[in-house]
Structures are given as structure tokens and as C-alpha cells.
């Protein structure tokens, strides 16, 4: 997988990895660590979402495997206290790694979402409103209440819809001249320069037409000639 955009599109979006796909999106994710002003395509966002889901499932299955191993090796009933005691330092290390990973990816994840919103033409402050609604639903309403669930689902649904929207068109020439100058340049480019060229000289024909015999052949009687000392006379 690679980047499916040219230099002009990357300059217009403020993102050198615009329209990256596959493994390249991981490099794009960390290279745009604090890029909150550029744009990111759907491929950048959803490829990273896929990698995050795979990594999250791997961590979950690893944790469940460790729990199952402890339960299978324990004798008698396994209580939560006994389970935590058995896992001990391993659980602490796992939780610390999980926290460290969250702190590393939280900022570029927010930046990626804002760039995705900007790429769809949605203002960045819409994401800020969603975050505030999410926080308010957690602390302003009772846990597991209907209004809390409705607000959380509303935020998640709008995020899903907005990140699935197509990209808005890019400017054709962001670094070029003003539109009037560009239009004039395009008009000049359409003018055929050969219209103003001088016409070519006609080539002599292979069989030129005979000239007037009265002008090309002298009079047989000598009465007509071009000698100024003997002008032509009649009679």
C-alpha cells in the first residue's frame, strides 16, 4: 500500500500522507502527531481504525488467555481477590502498558479525527461539541440512565456518519496565481500563434502558364520595341 495523492493535493491538504493506505497510514498517523490544521482522507482514518481494532482484540485475547491460565491452574474456587493475587506483577505491567499506549495515541487520534472532519467540510469545533456532550453524559446524568445512553449513542453515530463522508474537492492550484490571472493565462494558452504568422510564399508551379506573347516576344517587323531612342509609332 502507498500514498494515492500527488504533490499538489498534499500541499493543498497540509498532509504529505494524504490518501495513504495500508501500513503507510501508521507512519502518517505518527508523522501528523499534532497536525490539527490539515486534512485526512477516509482511507487514512479507517485503516488506522482497523489497526486499532486488531491491536485491541489482540490485547483482549491475551488478557483473557492469562486469566484462563490462572483459573485452570488454581485449585478450588477462584475468587477475584485470589485471581488478582495470582496474576500479581503481570497484571500491573499489563495495565501500565495499556495506560502508556493510551497516552501515546490519544493526541494523534484526536488530530486524525479533526483532520477527517475538515476533509469532509465539517468545522473542527463540531468534534469539540461531541467531546463536551460525552463528558456531560458521564458526569451530569445518572449511570446507565436513558438520557446518558441516548447522548452516548448520538455522539458515536454522528462520529461514524461524519467520518464516512467523502472528501470535499481540493483547490485546483493552491500555490498558483490569482483566479483572474490564471484565467487570463489559460485564455492566452488557447490562442493559436500560427494565426498571426506571415503567409508562406507560393512555390512555383511545375508547369507555369505561358506569359502574354505580346509582352514576351519581340515584334517580327521590329515596329514594337522598348528602345527609348526609337519610340513606337504607327503609320
The pLDDT of residue 179 is: 44
The pLDDT of residue 50 is: 96
Give the pLDDT confidence of 20-32 residue by residue, as tens digits. Answer: 999 999 999 999 9
Does this model's pTM top 0.75? no
The pLDDT of residue 212 is: 53
The pLDDT of residue 227 is: 55
DSSP state of 209: P
The pLDDT of residue 183 is: 43
Q: Using CA of residue 177, residue 179, residue 182, residue 188, what is the dihedral sign?
A: negative
The pLDDT of residue 120 is: 96
* pLDDT < 70 stretches in the chain: 1, 73-78, 172-235
The pLDDT of residue 180 is: 43
State how far the alpha carbon of 109 is from the alpha carbons of 8, 180, 211, 225, 226, in Å: 25, 40, 92, 105, 102
The pLDDT of residue 158 is: 95
Phi, psi of 3 (to 5 degrees): -100, 125
Query: Rounded to an integer, what distance in angstroms lies between the CA atom of residue 68 and that of residue 58?
Result: 15
* 45 sits in which H/E element: helix 42-73
The pLDDT of residue 204 is: 56
The pLDDT of residue 184 is: 42
The pLDDT of residue 143 is: 83
Amino acid at each position: 500500500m502507498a500514498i494515492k495523492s500527488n504533490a499538489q493535493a498534499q500541499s493543498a491538504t497540509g498532509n504529505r500522507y494524504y490518501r495513504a493506505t495500508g501500513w503507510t497510514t501508521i507512519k502518517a498517523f505518527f508523522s501528523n502527531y499534532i497536525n490539527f490544521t490539515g486534512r485526512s482522507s477516509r482511507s487514512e482514518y479507517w485503516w488506522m481504525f482497523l489497526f486499532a481494532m486488531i491491536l485491541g482484540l489482540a490485547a483482549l485475547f491475551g488478557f483473557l488467555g492469562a486469566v484462563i491460565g490462572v483459573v485452570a491452574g488454581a485449585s478450588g474456587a477462584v475468587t477475584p481477590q485470589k485471581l488478582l493475587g495470582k496474576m500479581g506483577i503481570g497484571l500491573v505491567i499489563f495495565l501500565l502498558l495499556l495506560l502508556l499506549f493510551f497516552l501515546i495515541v490519544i493526541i494523534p487520534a484526536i488530530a486524525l479525527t479533526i483532520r477527517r472532519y475538515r476533509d469532509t467540510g465539517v468545522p473542527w469545533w463540531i468534534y469539540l461539541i461531541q467531546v463536551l456532550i460525552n463528558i456531560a453524559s458521564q458526569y451530569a446524568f445518572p449511570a446507565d440512565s436513558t438520557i446518558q445512553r441516548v447522548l452516548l449513542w448520538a455522539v458515536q453515530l454522528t462520529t461514524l456518519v461524519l467520518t464516512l463522508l467523502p472528501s470535499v474537492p481540493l483547490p485546483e492550484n493552491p500555490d498558483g496565481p490569482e483566479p483572474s490571472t490564471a484565467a487570463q493565462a489559460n485564455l492566452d494558452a488557447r490562442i493559436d500563434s500560427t494565426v498571426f504568422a506571415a503567409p508562406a510564399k507560393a512555390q512555383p508551379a511545375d508547369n507555369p502558364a505561358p506569359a502574354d506573347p505580346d509582352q514576351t516576344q519581340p515584334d517580327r517587323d521590329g515596329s514594337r520595341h522598348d528602345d527609348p531612342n526609337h519610340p513606337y509609332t504607327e503609320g
